[in-house]
Amino acid sequence: MIWKILFGVTAILAQILQALAAPTLDSQLTSQLPGKYVFAHFMVGIVKDYQLSNWKEDMAAAQSIGINAFALNCASIDSYTPTQLALAYEAAEQVNFKVFISFDFAYWTNGDTAKITEYMKQYASHPAQMQYKGAAVVSTFVGDSFNWDPVRQGTPHPIYALPNLQDPADATTGPAKSADDYGESHYIGPYSAHHSDDGSSQWAANMPHDGWRNLFKPYIAAYKSGAKTPTVEVDEVVYWYRPTPKGVVCTGDILSAPMGANMLSDSVFVATMLTSPATLTVQSGDNAPVNIDVPAGIVTSNVSMGIGGQSFKVTRNGQTILSGQGGLAVKDNCVNYNFNVYVGSIGG
Ligand SMILES: *[C@@H]1O[C@H](CO)[C@@H](O)[C@H](O)[C@H]1NC(C)=O
């Protein structure tokens, strides 16, 4: 599924993505809720066919890296929203996770008070509802001018309305910013064929981003503990790269390369998560191997992208401690443009 981390960890997301998208966030880790909660944004609008088990799998993946709740982004136009919301709340209750609704005001309007109140009456006291100080958390996407007072009056449970739940990473990634996630490639949930095909399968299928979760986990832990830097317990590398260099002309696409594509760097990125310093060796396609001395902790290095297979190795004191092949070869030809990245990991 396509979900991504919000709030505090968004700064981390941006930090990791700075390699991919030129402008970056330089913000402190902040949370809009006092306390250390980490939420992931989940687009309910593209999971028409989700079953209870799909929800539970996604929630387990989120829980395993320290995410507390899903902000369930709901459009008003989807007939299956009530069904999927019910499944999400039920799944969350079963796996001891939390959820809350984020009304997407690209679709909802300030006149929808009655409908929004109905949803809050239904879910505000649900066992899986994310509560803050005894009040049900609810948010909007670009719905800052919505008046919650009548909803509060109509709901027999306190409500904590979070301000506009916009993802700061979106605001920094330029023209792709929109009310949907399809044009973005920041998903970190397991990719599932169960979401309706809005076209994103073109670039999201077979392009896993799961490795990024391994990378977020220590940052989320550090955020929650108040540590300045993440702690690495096991040596691991997480790598990512696009399937073709930016200049390759794809032969079968009715569209041309997306705006901003030429700003990208033809690089292979490797985040080393190391317990002590080591040497990273990357051989990208037909390029000569590149050795990089990397310190302990989490550091992102890059090498120029070469056509062909990608191989990664970490050595320490003359011993190879990690090695593996990238899960996707870089090609110098393509049918359709795909500027998404393949994310993989070795070790861990
Ligand atoms: C690649 O690494 C070099 C050296 O650390 C850095 O200066 C450069 O900004 C990086 N390139 C990208 C695209 O991240």
Instruction: Please provide the DSSP assignment of 167-202 as one string.
Output: -HHHHHSGGG--SSSTT-----SPP-TTS--SSTHH
Asked whether residue 52 falls in the same domain as residue 9, the answer is yes
Residue 188: per-residue pLDDT: 65
Does any domain span residue 226? no
Kindly give the distance from the C-alpha atom of residue 265 to the centroid of ligand 1, in angstroms, as a whole number: 9
321 and 259 co-located in one domain: yes
CA of 314 to the centre of ligand 1 (A): 19
Secondary structure of residue 7 in the 3-state scheme: coil
Within a domain: residue 223? no
Tell me: do 189 and 257 sit in the same domain: no
Answer yes or no: do 200 and 247 share one domain. Answer: no
**Which residue segment(s) compose the domain that 122 sits in?**
3-218
In a domain, 323, yes or no: yes
| Residue 198: partners with Cβ closer than 8 Å, 6 or more residues away | 46, 182
**Residue 176 CA to ligand 1 centre (angstroms):** 23
Q: Identify the burial level of 28 via C-beta atoms within 10 angstroms of its C-beta, where 0-12 means exposed, 13-18 middle and 19 or more buried.
A: exposed
Domain co-membership, 70 together with 210: yes
Beta-ladder partners of 194: none
DSSP classification of residue 206: T
The residue whose CA is least distant from atom 2 of ligand 1 is 302
Q: What is the pLDDT along the chain (348 residues), one digit of tens a residue?
A: 445 544 334 444 444 444 333 222 222 233 445 567 888 888 888 788 899 999 999 999 889 988 899 989 898 878 889 999 999 999 999 999 999 999 999 899 999 999 999 999 999 999 999 998 899 999 888 888 899 999 999 999 999 998 765 554 444 333 332 323 333 455 666 665 555 555 566 566 678 888 888 888 898 888 888 888 899 999 999 999 999 999 999 988 888 887 777 788 999 999 999 999 999 999 999 999 999 999 999 999 999 999 999 999 999 999 999 999 999 999 999 988 888 889 999 996
Ligand 1 atom nearest to CA at 301: 2
Alpha carbon of 92 to ligand 1 centroid (Å): 41
Q: Is 131 among the domain residues?
A: yes
Q: Taking the chain, what is the end-to-end CA distance rounded to the nearest angstrom? A: 23
Identify whether 194 is part of a domain: yes
**Phi/psi at 286 (nearest 5 deg)?**
-85, 5
Whether residue 242 is found in the same domain as residue 298 = yes
Ligand 1 atom with least separation from CA of 265: 13
Residue 110 lies in a domain: yes
Kindly give the number of the ligand 1 atom that is closest to the alpha carbon of 267: 13
Distance 19 CA to ligand 1 centre (A): 7
State the closest ligand 1 atom to the C-alpha of 269, by its place in the atom list counted from 1.
Answer: 14
Q: Is there a domain that residue 66 lies in?
A: yes
Q: H or E stretch including 298?
A: strand 297-304
Q: Are residues 56 and 135 in the same domain?
A: yes
Closest-CA residue to 310 (of 332, 330, 344, 284): 284
Asked which of 218, 243, 264 is the last residue of a domain, the reply is 218
Fill in the amino acid letter for 46.
I
Pocket of ligand 1 (CB under 6 A): 19, 265, 267, 302
pTM for this prediction: 0.76
Atom of ligand 1 nearest to the CA of 18: 14
Residues 159 and 88 occupy one common structural domain: yes
Q: Give the count of domains, the chain.
A: 2
Mutate to test the pocket of ligand 1, among 302, 303, 304 (most ligand atoms within 8 A of CB): 302
Amino acid at 220: I
Pick the residue whose CA is nearest to atom 14 on ligand 1. Answer: 19
Whether the CB-CB separation of 250 and 265 falls below 8 Å is answered with: no
Tokens of 176: 């792709």
Domain termination residue (choose one: 161, 196, 218) = 218
The answer to the question of residue 156 being in a domain is: yes
Closest by CA position to 98, among listed 67, 61, 119: 67
What is d(CA 103, CA 268) in angstroms, rounded to the nearest whole number? 37
Of 159, 57, 170, 79, residue with least CA distance to 117: 159
Which pair of tokens denotes residue 104? 């997407």
Judge if 36 and 184 occupy the same domain: yes
Both 250 and 205 in one domain: the answer is no
285 and 183 in a common domain: no
CA of 256 to the centre of ligand 1 (A): 27
CATH label of the domain that carries residue 250: 2.60.40
Quick one: 275 and 202 in the same domain?
no
Among candidate residues 168, 188, 218, the one where a domain is terminated: 218
